[in-house]
Structure formats: C-alpha cells, structure tokens
Amino acid sequence: MATPNLNPRGESVLRTLIEAYLEAGEPVGSRLLARRFPEPLSSATIRNVLSDLEDESMVAQPHTSAGRVPTERAYRYYVDRWLKAQPPDPELEGRLAATLEGLDLDPESWARHASRTLAEVMGGVCVALPLPLTQSRLVRLEFVPVGPGRVVAIWVGSLGEVDHRLMDNPWNYADTVLTELGNYATAQFAGLTLAEMRSRLLEALQAGAQEGETLRTRLQELASRWPEDGPAGDPPVLVSGLGRLGGLPEFEDVARFRGLVAAFEEHGRLARLLNAFADRASQEIQLLLGSENPYLDGWPLATAVRTVGLGPAGYVTFALVGPLRMDYGRVMGGLRWWSRQIQQRQGGF
C-alpha cells in the first residue's frame, strides 16, 4: 500500500485520535478531538479532516453514529513516526526484575517462569519457545531412507541434541547417494545453523561452482523439503495469560474469543511464528501489527518478539501479544530494559 499522503494538520489530528483511543478504548468523536487538540479547531473542520483520513484508510467508523477508530495502517504510521519507548518506572522495573530469577536454569524451565511473569506484568499473552535446536549448529547430518519416496533426516547438533525429521524424497535417491549427501553436508557445513546451511547452499549454486555441484543440487533439493515443524507432537511452546484477552472490548464476543483461544492452541503455528522472527529479534524487538504477523493475521493483535540468549544453554524467543490498542511506549521500553538486563547478567552473551 502506498505511503499515506497526510498534511501536518491531518497528522496532528490522527496522532491525537490514536492517543485518545489508546487511553479510553472507545471510538473518538469530533467533539473529544476538538477538546484535546492543541489548536482551536471547530468540530466541522475536524470532521473534514477525519473524512480525509478515512479516504487514506487511516481511520474507520464502526457505526454510522459512532466516532472513529484507528486502522492497522494508522498504528503502523504512529509507531514508525511518533513512538517513544518509555524507560520503565521503578515499580515496573521491580516487577520485570522478577523474571530474571533462575537464569541459570535450563531454557524451558526459565522460559516457563519468565513468560508467566511477563504476561502478568505487561498485560497480554506471552508465548515462549526455547531454542536449543533453532540456534544449534551442525555436528553431523545423515539421511536414512524409510520406504519409497520418504527419508528421515537426522540432525546432530552442537548442544548434544539429536533431531529426526521425516521428509519427502520424490527423487528416490539410492542409499549410497543419501550417505554421500550426509557426508558432504557434514564436511562442508559443520558449525552452521540449518538456516545458514540453506543460505550457503543457495549461494554456492548461484555462483555456478563446478566442484560438487551435483551434490549441492541434490542436497538443496532435500533441504528445501526440510519440514518447519519438529518431530511428531506439539513443539515446546509455552503460552501464558490468554484469559486476559477475554476481558478486553475487542474480544468480549464469546464466539470471537473462542476462536482466538483456538488459534493459540495451534502450537505448530506459534512455533513457526517464533522461529520465523527469532534471528532478527535477537538484534532488536520485532513489532508486528495485525496482518504483518502471518501466523495470526486474522486478528487485531500487536506482537512484540524478542530473543534473549542464555549463554551455553541456548536461547529463548518470547512474543508478547496484545490488542492493537497496546501501550506501545510502555511495552517497547519495558522489553528493551528487560532484555538488556538479561544480556548484562549473561556477560554480554
């Protein structure tokens, strides 16, 4: 979608409307905007500006006689231009500091404790995924045939874990070829994550190198069919605080809330979400608004994703999920302070 064409007055009205809606959670009418607006404007003038904002898909009117509410597009405009992450006040710091207890535990035990506390303190749903496999580095890779058109890939990782993935093998590579592919991958790509190995394969093929090109091509064909989900059974996804969303106006309809609960029960979907943004979230918080989240795009939700390192024990990726009407300054500031504290306690790891 093209960048909105807003003049300074339109921007000011939009910002005032968003901030009023974030505070009250009710559609904002022209009279309220006139009272809050820093300059004297008539209600008629503001209604004209609102009409222009509606043409730009920045505001919507739930009912004919109601005020306006910001759209997903408006929230993105607001976050990109005006968001200022607020350092947590002493009370919030103290409550967030409670999540730092037990950092020396294994990733899953600590993630369970931290996700419950984050959900309570920040006011939303917290989803957590320990990442010993996602960030694991290759020690050995083997491919074992299990019948026509199927193969099991066995990943032996640097954290000592062994993961099995059932994959399609439509080319019906012979046992000897599969053994050769595993040996080649181990020799060439030891020390890389799965994502890095795929990237290196693609680069090698694009470069057109001749030596080992057939092996690389065959290995890339197999790697492209590596399943995103783990072995059979639910991934170790931890969900805390889901009941809190049921008390918000956005989900007061019982059927709608049940649908939301069902979405959060699909742990495979949540694991894909966290894995998809884990690397980028290790550098900075990733803020996804509404449809920007491909795994929960049917819901008016904001998702803040952050990956934190736990030293040799691995990583945990957290997603704090709340309504689009989220206190972005508080959430972003709190998560940044919290993740810096973790880094400092881990010696900058």
Task: Give the tens place of pLDDT for each residue, 229-280.
Answer: 444 444 578 999 988 887 787 888 888 888 888 889 888 888 888 888 887 8
Q: Angle at Cα 254 formed by Cα 125 and Cα 251, nearest 5°?
A: 45
Q: What are residue 320's phi and psi, to 5 degrees?
A: -95, 120
Q: What is the torsion angle, in degrees rounded to the nearest 10, for the CA atoms of residue 334, residue 337, residue 342 and residue 347?
A: 170
What is the band of 131 on the pLDDT scale with cuts at 50, 70, 90?
A: low
DSSP state at residue 292: G
Average pLDDT over residues 307-318: 82
Spelled out in words, what is the top-level CATH class assigned to the domain 90-133+235-345?
alpha beta
Give me the CATH code for the 8-82 domain, please.
Answer: 1.10.10.10
The pLDDT of residue 207: 61
Of residues 287 and 206, more confidently modeled: 287
Average pLDDT over residues 97-118: 88
Of residues 140 and 320, more confidently modeled: 320
The pLDDT of residue 87: 92
* Lowest pLDDT segment from 197-206, 282-291, 310-319: 197-206
Does this chain's domain 8-82 share its CATH topology with 138-223? no
Provide the whole-model pTM.
0.70
Tokens of 7: 């003049």
* Lowest pLDDT segment from 135-144, 152-161, 190-199, 301-310: 152-161
The pLDDT of residue 164: 67
Tokens of 346: 């881990």
d(C-alpha 168, C-alpha 226), whole Å: 8
Task: Give the tens place of pLDDT for each residue, 144-186.
Answer: 888 778 888 887 766 555 666 777 877 788 888 888 888 888 8
The pLDDT of residue 93: 93
Query: In the chain, what are the helix, strand and coil shares in percent, each to the nearest 5?
Result: 50, 20, 35
Count of alpha carbons within 13 angstroms of residue 59, beta-carbon side: 30
What is the band of 140 on the pLDDT scale with cuts at 50, 70, 90?
A: confident
Task: Give the tens place of pLDDT for each residue, 204-226.
Answer: 656 655 555 677 677 777 766 66
Average pLDDT over residues 325-341: 94
Give me the CATH code for the 138-223 domain, please.
Answer: 3.30.390
d(C-alpha 169, C-alpha 178), whole Å: 10
- Percentage of the chain modeled with pLDDT above 90: 32
pLDDT higher than 90, residue 318: yes
The pLDDT of residue 220: 73
Task: Give the tens place of pLDDT for each residue, 18-57.
Answer: 999 998 888 998 888 888 887 788 878 888 999 999 999 9
The pLDDT of residue 169: 79
What is the band of 349 on the pLDDT scale with cuts at 50, 70, 90?
A: very low
Tokens of 222: 């197999």
pLDDT higher than 90, residue 89: yes
Domain definitions of the chain by residue range = 8-82, 90-133+235-345, 138-223
d(C-alpha 349, C-alpha 342), whole Å: 9
